[in-house]
Amino acid sequence: MSRGNATWVLYAVLSCLGFLLNGLGSVLVPLQKDLHVGRAQVAFYPTLFAVGLLLVGVVGGRLMSRIGRSAALRASIGGMILGGLLLAAPVRALTLLGALLLGVGGALLIQLIPALLAALHPHAPAAAVGEANGLASGASVLAPLAVAGALASGVGWRIGYLAVPLVMLVLVAVPAWRVPLPVPSEPGPDTPPGRGRALLGPWLEVLFAVSVEFCMVFWAASAVIDWHHASAGLAPAVASLFLVGMATGRSLAVPITRRVPSARVLMLVCTAIAGAGFALFWAAPVLPLAAAGLAVAGLGVALLYPTTVSRTVAAWPHAPDRAAARAALASGVAIGGAPFLLARLADVNGLRTAYLVVPVLLLALAVRAVAARS
């Protein structure tokens, strides 16, 4: 798979988004102290990202057809830069606006990436999306470490969280302004006749895959504390092994998709690996085994999003930007809904029982893969 300048620009911008999104949880406590507010008042910040996905999922297709892909990419980069700067402000209203701009800019990018990579690499769209997400996952692992290092050295969370991604976004903005991007051959109608049913199945696949991913990302540390009495400092480090597994799997997207060219077979293999890893994490009697389960689960989950989102874009080949917008909508529903549902179930039945939502979602994804094959 050849990678031109446009591909590398998209990879770099998505890596910056991965850093900013996954580092956000690490800055909530110091942000809370800076603003002198309660925990509940900063817990809302990650939700704004899901709100951005929902907004883009609803209007992103029409917006893309009006302003074009190049302008949308520049708007995404500008939104993330401005959002990061506002998040660093000492005024709560500005920080909220900054978080929302980060969410909208990131959501616009999430809509753009699958459609653009599918156009740039028509013979290996899942591999390209997987490789892009692999780099973003690697950046995600670095984000909490950078924040922790900045706090420990006394330079403050703003340097650790914002310096690297904002500088990189500024540097990437110049080639992003000049690099030619593929233009859709035919915009197509907003709801192509007879194609809505074709998109429903892949849309559900994205919903299930992203739900699994963020149930693990948001609540694995709490599970490690509840089930194995890990300390507040150790639990996030153990939970990060899920991200390490995902980064490893996505970095191998190209060779894996070459060996398993069928998207349906790949989905079944990935759900089986993820299910095995989750079972070890859920049932492990000791912390080291639970940690190993998290890494295996991350390895299995790694290619589920790239595969399902590529199938969604392929379902509407005449309107890829609108299909990608629908995929962004599925991601927003998943991020905003599944972890919240898990938390509500945990309040009633305990976290161990609530976490059985994950294998149910994996089973639904496997059933979808088998049904699509038939």
Question: Is residue 137 classed exposed, middle or buried when 0-12, 13-18 and 19+ CB atoms within 10 A define those classes?
Answer: buried
Percentage of the chain lying above the pLDDT 90 cut: 24
80 vs 50, 166, 173, 191, CA distance in Å?
15, 8, 11, 30
Contact of 20 with 102, CB cutoff 8 Å: yes
Terminal Cα distance for the chain, rounded: 30
Average pLDDT of the residues of the chain: 84
Question: Per the structure block, which two tokens stand in for 129?
Answer: 């999306």
Cα distance between residue 171 and residue 354, in whole Å: 44
H helices present in 88-124, as ranges: 92-120
Instruction: Band the pLDDT of 373: cuts 50, 70, 90.
Output: low
* Model confidence, pTM: 0.77
Question: Per the structure block, which two tokens stand in for 207?
Answer: 């919903």
Q: Taking Cα atoms as reference points, which of 295, 210, 10 lies closest to residue 125?
A: 10
Q: Is the pLDDT reported for residue 264 higher than 70?
A: yes
Question: Per the structure block, which two tokens stand in for 149?
Answer: 């290092």
> Tokens 């700067």 correspond to what residue?
85
> Tokens 């590398």 correspond to what residue?
8
Residue 37's SS3 state is coil
Contact of 359 with 278, CB cutoff 8 Å: yes
- Averaged pLDDT, 128-133: 83
pLDDT of 233 reads: 66
- Averaged pLDDT, 184-188: 53
Encode pLDDT of 139-160 as tens digits: 887 887 788 788 888 888 899 8
- Averaged pLDDT, 165-169: 89
Instruction: Band the pLDDT of 188: cuts 50, 70, 90.
Output: very low
H helices present in 36-87, as ranges: 39-42, 45-67, 69-87
Cα distance between residue 340 and residue 352, in whole Å: 15
Encode pLDDT of 17-41 as tens digits: 988 887 776 777 788 788 887 755 7
Q: Is the pLDDT reported for residue 186 higher than 60?
A: no
CATH superfamily of this structure's domain 1-179: MFS general substrate transporter like domains (1.20.1250.20)
Q: Give the CA count within 13 Å in the CB-facing half-sphere of 272.
A: 8
Cα distance between residue 213 and residue 138, in whole Å: 15
For residue 159, give the amino acid letter: I
pLDDT of 47 reads: 74
Contact of 189 with 180, CB cutoff 8 Å: no
Contact of 60 with 325, CB cutoff 8 Å: yes
Q: How many helices (H) and strands (E) does the chain have?
A: 16, 0
- List of residues 6+ apart from 106 with CB closer than 8 A: 17, 20, 21, 49, 52, 76, 80
pLDDT of 277 reads: 97
Q: Where in the chain is the domain with CATH 1.20.1250.20?
A: 1-179, 195-374
pLDDT of 232 reads: 64
The secondary structure element, H or E, covering residue 255 is helix 253-259
Instruction: Band the pLDDT of 183: cuts 50, 70, 90.
Output: low
259-263 long-range contacts, CB within 8 A, separation 24+: 263/126, 263/307, 263/310, 263/311
> Tokens 């701009």 correspond to what residue?
101
pLDDT of 260 reads: 84
pLDDT of 287 reads: 95
A 10 A CB-CB count for 363 gives 13
Encode pLDDT of 320-354 as tens digits: 778 888 888 888 888 878 888 888 888 889 999 99
Cα distance between residue 39 and residue 344, in whole Å: 18
Specify whether domain 195-374 bears CATH 1.20.1250.20. yes
Cα distance between residue 78 and residue 358, in whole Å: 36
